[in-house]
Amino acid sequence: MKTKKFTRNLHRYLSIFVSIQLLLWTVSGIYFAYNKIELVRGEQYRLPKDVELRIFDRLGTSIIETNENGEKSYKTYPEGNIVKPLSKEEAIEITSQKTTLNPLEVILVTQLYPGGEYRGSLPVYKVKTDTKDDINVYVGYMTGDIGSIRSDSWRIWDLMWSLHIMDYKERDNINNILLKVLSILALVTSISGITLFFVKR
């Protein structure tokens, strides 16, 4: 009888401890779901620049990138010659230079898919590598920048993240309606559970 009472009390006090933490998780989750990170960062107060310039090295050639109202153009610096896109062979060379991976195959990606492993600007080279973790390196079509490196470990993390934020399609929207609704229900459940702990039978 004493063992049964002890077990019941242990369960009861463990439940209140877990419920309080669940309440904290839920409240913070609701805050994230209803507040866009871009607005929190103050991005809405930035004035867009008419022209942005960037000089970088691409396989030994200095290139200047001009971003004028979202339209990017590339010329050699300081000569001003028009720059051609990277070839597949150059994408392989850049992958070898900028990573520790062994590139095998190159595919030009021109279209994004919801929930795909790459979510950056297009076009881009997808460089497959010789790894057990099935690693893909995404190389900028014009710049040669390493945009993303995706592996099986990242894909599992991305799946878990989509389950966590309940965005099963895009996998990166923490302001979706499903998460908002379920977070409110979780809040009600947490508060009611804590309330019941203090209610005397």
Domain edges within the chain: 2-36+175-198, 44-84, 85-174
Dist CA 50 CA 86 (whole Å): 27
In this prediction, residue 66 carries a pLDDT of 95
Distances 192 to 22, 86, 92 between C-alpha atoms, Å: 12, 60, 58
**What is the CATH topology of the domain spanning 85-174?**
Nuclear Transport Factor 2; Chain: A, (3.10.450)
In eight-state DSSP terms, residue 170 is S
Q: What are phi and psi of 11, to 5 degrees?
A: -60, -40
pTM: 0.81
Dist CA 90 CA 107 (whole Å): 12
In this prediction, residue 46 carries a pLDDT of 84
**Lookup result for tokens 């520790």:** 100
- Beta strands (DSSP E) in 96-161 are 103-109, 124-129, 136-140, 146-150
26: Cβ contacts below 8 Å, ≥ 6 apart:
183, 186, 187, 190
Nearest partner of 93 among 131, 61, 117, 122, judged by Cα: 61
How many Cβ atoms are within 10 Å of 152's Cβ, its own excluded?
12
pLDDT tens-place string over residues 113-162: 888 999 999 999 999 999 999 999 999 999 999 999 999 999 999 999 99
In this prediction, residue 201 carries a pLDDT of 56
Joined tokens for residue 6: 């002890």
User: Which residue positions in the chain have pLDDT lower than 70?
Assistant: 1-2, 4, 200-201
Instruction: Report whether 139 contacts 95 (CB < 8 A).
Output: yes
In this prediction, residue 103 carries a pLDDT of 96
Q: What are phi and psi of 53, to 5 degrees?
A: -120, 145
Joined tokens for residue 74: 């590339």
Determine which helix (DSSP H) or strand (DSSP E) holds 96, and give its type and residue range: helix 88-98
